[in-house]
Amino acid sequence: MYQWIATIEIYIENGVNGMIGEKTNLLVVSAHAGDFVWRAGGTIAKYIKQGANVHLVILSYGARGESNDLWNIQGQTMENVKAHRKEEIMEAAGHLGVENLEIWDLMDYHMEITPETVERMVRKIRDVRPHHIITHGPKDALNPDHETVHRFVFDASVLSTSNGVRFEGTETAVQASIFGFEPHQSEISDFKPEVIIDITEVYQQKQAAMNCYKAQKHLIDYYAAKAQMRGNHARRLSGNKDYQYAEAFTRFFPYVGGELV
């Protein structure tokens, strides 16, 4: 099992014609302001560095549930919290090289998905036509928003492939492969890594992006340590001693190809 986890990386990285490149489309959907950095910042930076078209959708600022330190400031307002989180998002995205970025400003804690939001995501998927989607995995024991977004993105991806789901100005998409972030509390959430991506060459970009999140400073060292831990797993499972930092994901669908890996 674990050897499979290590070697599958080359297939996950493949876009069109076997390589990440300008014809590779990646869509990342993040529930809150920092999720995309903590859990996939290195993978995002790696794809961008290798020429892929990366689109990022941040559904909320995490103003209600993921900005506790900011709310300790006397006289704090929702408007100020969102403005602060937006500054963090934009600075972090810049470190990763993200240019295609949308913030939908949904309410968080608890996030509610309306039919209008589903249509908006179907339209986004049909517009980007991603080969791969990265978003939240199926279980997050301490964050129900993440589980909501997992189901939302999965549903929208399936709807985007149906000829009978008709939204004016869009064309049916092909089913993307979908990967789930590693949740914050991995063991409590029954997370088992199915894909490990080496991010050694772009780790400093991820570190710089993490350092932008002053509203969640307690997570910076935590995710730095997690990247090192997954790097250790990547070395052990692959035999490649150059792997120092890595990120882990689950798969929504089985790998499909012409050979065993």
CA 61 → CA 80, 85, 105, distances in Å? Answer: 11, 6, 6
In a domain, 243, yes or no: yes
In a domain, 256, yes or no: no
Pairing of strands 195-198, 53-58: unpaired
Structural domain boundaries enclosing 18? 2-251
- Residue 19: band (very low, low, confident or very high) from pLDDT cuts 50, 70, 90: confident
Amino acid identity of residue 68, one-letter, is N
Query: pTM of this prediction?
Result: 0.92
Residue with tokens 């090289």: 97
Nearest Cα neighbor of 40 from 211, 246, 261 is: 246
For the cut 70, the answer to whether the pLDDT of residue 131 exceeds it is yes
For the cut 70, the answer to whether the pLDDT of residue 1 exceeds it is no
In a domain, 79, yes or no: yes
Residue 242's pLDDT is what? Answer: 98
Dist. CA 156–CA 45, nearest whole Å: 25
Overall size of the chain counted in residues? 261
For the cut 70, the answer to whether the pLDDT of residue 85 exceeds it is yes
Average pLDDT, the chain: 93
For the chain, what is the domain count? Answer: 1
In a domain, 257, yes or no: no
CATH of the domain at 64: 3.40.50.10320
Per-residue pLDDT tens for 38-82? Answer: 999 999 999 999 999 999 999 999 999 999 999 999 999 999 999
